[in-house]
Structure 1
Amino acid sequence: MQFLKTLLWILVAVLVAIIAGNNWRDVTIDLWSNLQADIKIPILLLAVFLLGFFPTWLVMRGKIWRIERRIAIDVPPIPAAPAPRYEGDQ
């Protein structure tokens, strides 16, 4: 199963590389005032993806951190089990 998973990710990477190679063109972005920037389309798409992904990822990590803290505080420690006694022990 791990082989199929690796093969799938390789195919996705190759597909993304082909699409990015075919769309390697400049795009002019008007920032503010007379300031403009020329950027390649795949880099622009990656930047926009990361700009949308990063805040969502931070919120998810914050929620996980809060839940882990709540679990660590609410769960009492487990008492140690007594040592087994044998008939010959006293």
Structure 2
Amino acid sequence: MKIVRTVTWIVITAVMVAFIAMNWKKVAVNFWPLDDGNYLHFEWPVGVVALLFFLLGLAPSWLYLRAVRWRMSRRIASLENSLRASSMPSVSTRSETPAASGASSPATPLETPSNPSSAEV
């Protein structure tokens, strides 16, 4: 299963590198308006800008997934601990034995047959 994950990441990385390489044309990205009516801008390759905004869009989903996994792992650990605590016998039931509680043993010794001739058959 790890090989599938590794191959998937290699394919995703190759696609991103190919996309960035094919779109290496620089464009002006306006960030903030200045007092004189111009903008603070930087010239970056289109592929880098696209990758940056893709990662910014992916971040909320990834953070939500991590939070759900964390919450579920805590819930599972809590349920496992409560199951472990409820399955342990209490101290009072461990110390009692059937003889001490007054209960007779249900097992009876095997009796020999009353007719000896039928036992030899």
Could you say which TM-score interval applies, normalised by the shorter chain? 0.5 to 0.7
Aligned pair 1:69/2:74, yes or no? Answer: yes
Q: CA deviation at 1:17?
A: 3.4
SS at 2:41 equivalent: strand
TM (norm. structure 2) is 0.51
Return the offset for 1:11: 5.9
Q: Which runs of 4+ in 1 moved over 6 A?
A: none
Number of residues paired by the alignment? 78
- Percent identical: 29
- Structural RMSD (CA): 2.8
Structure having the higher Rg: 2
Which runs of 5 or more residues in structure 2 are unaligned? 34-38, 89-121
State the Cα distance separating 1:21 from its structure 2 match.
Answer: 2.1
In structure 2, distance between residues paired with 1:14 and 1:68: 33
Show the counterpart of 2:22: 22
2:64 corresponds in structure 1 to: 59
Cα deviations by residue, 1:9-33 (Å, 9 ceiling, x for unpaired): 6566555434432221111111111
Q: Which residue of 2 aligns with 1:47?
A: 52
In structure 1, list runs of 5 or more residues that go unmatched: 80-90
Show the counterpart of 2:110.
none
Q: CA deviation at 1:37?
A: 1.2
